[in-house]
Structure 1
Amino acid sequence: MCMVIFAPIFAICAFATCGGYYGHLQVKVDCADRRQSNLSINIDFAYPFRLQEVHFKAPLCEGKREEVLFLDGNFSSSAQFFLTVGVFAFLYSLLATIVYVFYQNKYIRNNRGPLVDFVVTVIFSLVWLVSSCFWAKAVSDIKTATNPTQVLLLISACRAQENKCTATQEPLWSRLNASAVFGFVNVVLWVGNIWFVFKETGWYKTGQRYPTRSASAKRTSEMRQRLYNESSFEQPEEGFGPQLYRQDSFNQQVGRQGSLNQAQVSLSLPPAYVGKPVIYNEENKVASQGPMIFVNEM
């Protein structure tokens, strides 16, 4: 959404400040002979900054003659390249806005739209960077070529000490500086948009579907698998050995418990049996017989 809103705006600001720039410089030549002085020499330059074609007339201060002078430098290639990138970036961002809003389903179908958008975004990021660097260097050179001190050195009359040459008006560079700044703002904007476009491609979705595990997680899983293989499959004798040992120890414990129970039984009192009691009369004859207890001797 940020790309949709800000990309066309900053692209317009970049190529408008560059293509719409107009510079004005005014100098005066005060000759020793007042009759040959020219106090208003106007020098105008603008896009595409072919300064070698900008000419002006200056007095020679020798008779009534004038000379035609030209500025130095041709910066049209950098300026035109920067402006072309801005115009195409504006058109593409405008087209992308229409697609995002009205053709979202077709955009994500078969993953072609996000891939094309990703490639174009990377290309525009690179060309914005190159054009902005070239244009920033060109702006610096234009300032040097139109510096009043540099321009006055081109005038022959200003080389004589008896004549006085000064600049009455200098160019304003705020708009040209703003164009270079907007160029680098577009670089940041388009480079930052690469990530958001990449998230819409199938490459990012594939990575999210099969996320890579960290190194520690891999080592932990490998260690668990190794321990499992060693205890269950790779060493069967050692795997079943502890189980047999535990079974033998359990049998021995059961045997010891059984012998203990037998010893306790052997040390217990002898069993007793209940019988009928016997009653004798005076003649020692058995009159009646009741329950009797018989104890077995050990």
Structure 2
Amino acid sequence: MCMVIFAPIFAICAFATCGGYYGHLQVKVDCADRRQSNLSINIDFGYPFRLQQVHFKTSLCEVKREEIIFLDGDFSAAAQFFVTIGVFAFLYSLLATIVYVFYQNTYLKNNRGPLVDFVVTVIFSFMWLVSSCCWAKSLSDIKSATNPTQVLLLISACRAQENKCTVTQEPVWSNLNTSVLFGFVNVILWVGNIWFVFKETGWYKTGQRYPTRSASGKHSSEMRQRLYSESSFEQPDEGFSPQPTRPDSFNQSKGVHKQVSFNQSQISFSLPQTNLGKPEISDRENRVASQGPMIFVNEV
């Protein structure tokens, strides 16, 4: 929503303050012989800041003759590039606003709209950064080229010590300084909008559909698995303790009873946290002592 509201406004402020600038410089030349005095020289310049084409006329104090002086520097490339980016950003912001409001379903169909919007937003963010930096550097050079001290040195009459030259009016740079400020504000705005546009793309939705398990998630899953394992193997001790045997229960009509004892040192049961009951030693006629559970096998 901030992109829809603020992007067109800041884009207009950026290219309007730069493209609509008009500067005026006025100097006054007083000749020593007083034959030519109060000579006011007006120097006007503005967008696109081709200063090498800006010229003004001034008279020579020694003779009644005029000279034509040109300023130095051509800064039109950076200024026009900055204004062009501002105009295109304004037009794209209006188009995006119309699509967001009236064609939302078409915008989200097949994920093409968010992808195109994401790519264009990244491009404009980079272009705003480059154009703002170039324009800030060019503005510094424009101020140096139109510095009243520098301009007075171009006038032949002012280079003579007997003549007096003064500056009566200097250019106002507030509009151009504001344009640079708006340029970097647009950089912040468009770079911040990259995240919101990325959330509408399929790349972000795919990452949300298959989220990566964090360390805390893995730890909680392992704890649940351990608790489940412990609860599964926790059985009453009597299930593993040997039952006392009765001699009468093994008296069958057929078969011979044979006792087989398994040594616990030969066969071990590895169960998690399972405590086997202490084996009981039963005294029989053969006085067989068992170190583990007694298992009787009936041989047929």
TM-score bracket for the superposition, by shorter chain length: 0.7 to 0.9
| Shift in CA distance, 210/69, structure 1 to aligned 2, threshold 3 Å | same
What does the per-residue CA deviation read over 1:214-259, in whole Å, with 9 as the maximum and x for residues that have no partner?
2343356468769999x99xxx94128947x34x65xx49x9xxxx
Question: Which of the pair has more CA radius of gyration?
Answer: 1
| 1:19 aligned partner | 19
Letter in 2 for 1:186: N
Letter in 1 for 2:141: D
Number of aligned residue pairs:
247
Q: Which protein has the bigger helix share?
A: 1
| Shift in CA distance, 31/204, structure 1 to aligned 2, threshold 3 Å | same
| 2:135 aligned partner | 135
- The answer to whether the 8 A contact 1:29-1:59 is kept is no
Q: CA RMSD in A?
A: 2.6
Give the Å deviation of 1:191: 0.7
Q: Calculate the TM-score normalised by the size of structure 1.
A: 0.76
Distance in 2 of aligned mates of 1:237 and 1:37: 119
Q: Calculate the TM-score normalised by the size of structure 2.
A: 0.76
Letter in 1 for 2:74: N
Q: Which runs of 5+ in 2 are unaligned?
A: 234-267, 283-300
| 1:204 aligned partner | 204
Matched residue SS, 1:73: coil
What does the per-residue CA deviation read over 1:82-104, in whole Å, with 9 as the maximum and x for residues that have no partner?
00000000010000000001100
Distance in 1 of aligned mates of 2:210 and 2:55: 67
Aligned ranges for residues 72-83 of structure 1 at < 5 Å?
A: 72-83=72-83
- The answer to whether the 8 A contact 1:38-1:58 is kept is no
What does the per-residue CA deviation read over 1:44-73, in whole Å, with 9 as the maximum and x for residues that have no partner?
001000001000011221110111101111
Aligned ranges for residues 1-298 of structure 1 at < 5 Å?
A: 1-218=1-218, 221=221, 237-239=269-271, 242=274, 245-246=276-277, 249=279, 252=280
Distance in 1 of aligned mates of 2:55 and 2:80: 21
What does the per-residue CA deviation read over 1:24-43, in whole Å, with 9 as the maximum and x for residues that have no partner?
00001111122233521000
What does the per-residue CA deviation read over 1:165-203, in whole Å, with 9 as the maximum and x for residues that have no partner?
011111111111111111011111101111111111111
Letter in 1 for 2:180: A
% identical aligned pairs: 80
Letter in 2 for 1:72: D
Matched residue SS, 2:270: helix
Distance in 1 of aligned mates of 2:269 and 2:223: 21
Distance in 1 of aligned mates of 2:151 and 2:11: 33
